Amino acid sequence: MCGLFFVVRRDGPVDPQRFERAFATMAHRGPDATLCRYGETTIDTPDGPRALWWAAGHHRLSILDLDPRSNQPFERDGALLVYNGEAYDYERLKGEAPFHGVRFDTSGDTEVVFEGLKRQGPDFVARINGMWALAFADWRGGAVHLSRDRYGKKPLFWRMDEDAFCAASTIGVIDRYLGRPVRHDPAALAAFVVHGVAYPGGEQTTAHADIRQTPPSGSLTLDLAAWRMSERRHFSFDAPSGFDPAMSLTDALADALRLRLVSDRPVGLLLSGGVDSSLLLSIAHATGRADQFRCFIGDTGRSEDAQYGFEAAKALGVKPEVLDLGYGDVSFARFLKICRHQEKPFPLIGNAMAMAEMYEKVAERGIPVVLDGTGGDEVFGGYWDRYFPFAVREAWRRRDLGWLFGVARAEPGRLKEMAAAIAGRSTDRVRPFLKTVARFDADALPSPNPLSSNKLGFDAALRADASRGRLGEWLWQNDRNAMMSSIENRSPLLDVRLTAYLGDGYRRKFSGAFNKVRLRESFDAFRRLPTQWRVQKQGFRWDRRRFLLQNREQVIDLLAASDVIDAIVDRRRFVDAIRADEASLRSTTTARLLSVAGVAEAMNAA
């Protein structure tokens, strides 16, 4: 919903022009208000008082309490907050013990978060049901606190050296302020080209040299006197907290949606033909909230998803708005724009390429807030390719023959897959074309995928994927695609009260021909829809090969000029191959190297 930038220096005042030039590169994250503040503070150190200089900037996308009184940086009583996100339960928090006697001057969530941090420090964030990335300066306490929500929905990066500390919503702002070129970690780039993933992960490391992230579920504290950073976790997926065990799943789902419909601006729902978003529509209709948002269906013309979305809407008397999306028809300029916003290599798939266009078209219709079904697959077991093998192995270890035979009877086509899972065979393979041009032994490069180990139990695999795997990748892509068009993305299925369902076992996730069984059953408490027992969702179909062929000359020119890929492959040999052979041009290896080259080119040109 917003963009933040915070700098503390030990060697002199922050240069406002330099700060604001860098900060302007993420103005798209908050087009409604921009405010920068500068100051000086003195802290006590073992060597005596020491002066520090600071700057704080905030681009605001106004969603709650549109009055300028809620603009940030939010500063009072020796403390300052820059904050990106939403504390959905802020009204409930106001009534809790830390706030007794507090007189609030605003009607949004920012002041609640500020006052909570002022009274309880970084421990307060564990009470929030929401998404956030924040920097809170406690000048009197001599500390700066960074914090990020449980799943890492909102980004927060940082870097420090002997003279300066920087924290920001984007990597590019930090590099631009420091006046240095963008530098990616060569090992991370090589892993992406081999394995096709560059997951943000659950630790502080990133794909960028010298740039770190505040990890999901993490709170970092910079001790200003010692000039030292420490880390603590405010949430653990292995022992989830923040939910009421007496609350039923259907009640939690309904309340998660209710909270995310609280907005002082128009709201939209991105309706696909799958279980997750159509369940949100079902809940909204059953609870009398369907009139609180507009419904949008994206159609590439190559998938049954849109038709299922129409059928679900028709069953409830809802008239969705259709957004026609190009099927591979993305200009090269748009591709480079996406690269600049993504800031790390990404697969050329619909979620990265087509969704950027969908958010843009939603924004053109005056909608700055959208709901989606992100999280349903990860929390409730939606991925056959990722989670089903773990279910099979665990069922085999338990000799749960009834479950195994039930799946085999309903889905005989999965017998080979089940046998491979039981045998522990990996389906990963290095692309033959890559082996001919790589500058390293591609077979020896370990996968960054946390599910690459088949020794994980089923529940452990889901927790790993949610905390440091594929979910983080989707959230990264969604945040940047949405923010590119100044849209806040809200995901009811990532409500903290639903995290406990990550650990309810394979039998509640897969049964016979169906995945996400528990979520599908929830329709019965609201309104049954044609999507409830749909067997397979296709997702956005986006034609990577068509894009590569349509933009052949620009693709080749960019790759031929890219120094960054030269550390991964023999660039001359690779470019000669894609010039001479269409199959090589259309290959997965070319698509991945193009993503690497595109991100490096776009970020350094910004």
Tell me, what's the pLDDT at 28? 97
Instruction: Give residue 593's pLDDT band: very low, low, confident or very high (50, 70, 90).
Output: very high
Above pLDDT 70, what percent of the chain?
Answer: 98
Cα distance between residue 157 and residue 171, in whole Å: 6
Tell me, what's the pLDDT at 537? 63
On the question of pLDDT at 415 being above 60, the answer is: yes
Instruction: Give residue 539's pLDDT band: very low, low, confident or very high (50, 70, 90).
Output: low
What integer is the mean pLDDT of 96-118? 94
Burial bucket for residue 316 (CB in 10 Å: 0-12, 13-18, 19+): middle
Tell me, what's the pLDDT at 97? 83
Cα distance between residue 54 and residue 16, in whole Å: 10
Instruction: Give residue 430's pLDDT band: very low, low, confident or very high (50, 70, 90).
Output: confident
Instruction: Give residue 536's pLDDT band: very low, low, confident or very high (50, 70, 90).
Output: confident
Tell me, what's the pLDDT at 328? 58
Structure tokens at 41: 């503070």
Tens of pLDDT along 172-231? 999 999 999 989 999 999 999 999 999 999 999 999 989 999 999 999 999 999 999 999
Q: What is the dihedral angle through the alpha carbons of 455, 458, 464, 466, rounded to the nearest 10 degrees?
A: 160
**DSSP per-residue codes, 410-469:** H-GGGHHHHHHHHHT-------HHHHHHBSS-GGGSPP--GGG-TTS-HHHHHHHHHHHS
316 is in an annotated binding site: no
Do you find a cis peptide bond into 98, omega within 30 degrees of 0? no
Tell me, what's the pLDDT at 541? 67
On the question of pLDDT at 382 being above 90, the answer is: yes
On the question of pLDDT at 329 being above 70, the answer is: no
Q: Where are the domains of the chain?
A: 2-233, 249-380+468-507+514-525, 384-432+442-464, 544-605
Cα distance between residue 14 and residue 287, in whole Å: 51
- Residue 295: active-site member: no
Cα distance between residue 32 and residue 19, in whole Å: 19
Span of 44-58, 137-151, 258-272, 426-440 with lowest mean pLDDT: 426-440
Cα distance between residue 353 and residue 477, in whole Å: 9
On the question of pLDDT at 350 being above 90, the answer is: no
Cα distance between residue 468 and residue 204, in whole Å: 11
- What's the fold here for domain 249-380+468-507+514-525? Rossmann fold (3.40.50)
Measuring CA to CA, how many Å separate 186 from each of 345, 570, 592, 597, 600? Answer: 12, 15, 14, 12, 12
| Average pLDDT of the chain to the nearest whole number | 95
Tell me, what's the pLDDT at 453? 86
Instruction: Give residue 77's pLDDT band: very low, low, confident or very high (50, 70, 90).
Output: very high
For 73, phi then psi, to 5°, come to -60, 140
581 is in an annotated binding site: no
Contacts of 473 (CB under 8 A, 6+ apart): 197, 198, 199, 200, 346
| Contact present, 567 and 327 (Cβ < 8 Å) | no
Catalytic annotation, pick one of 2, 166, 295, 339? 2
Cα distance between residue 132 and residue 150, in whole Å: 9
What integer is the mean pLDDT of 79-83? 98
Cα distance between residue 225 and residue 138, in whole Å: 12
233 sits in the region (left: phi over 0; alpha: psi -120 to 50; else beta) called beta
Structure tokens at 322: 């259709």
What is the pTM assigned to this prediction? 0.96
**Inter-helix orientation angle 350-364/332-342, to 10°:** 100
The helix/strand/coil state of 213 is strand
375 sits in the region (left: phi over 0; alpha: psi -120 to 50; else beta) called left
Instruction: Give residue 327's pLDDT band: very low, low, confident or very high (50, 70, 90).
Output: low
Tens of pLDDT along 448-492? 999 998 889 999 999 999 999 999 999 999 999 999 999 999 999
Q: Which CATH number fits domain 2-233: 3.40.50.10860, 3.40.190.10, 3.60.20.10, 3.90.1150.10?
A: 3.60.20.10
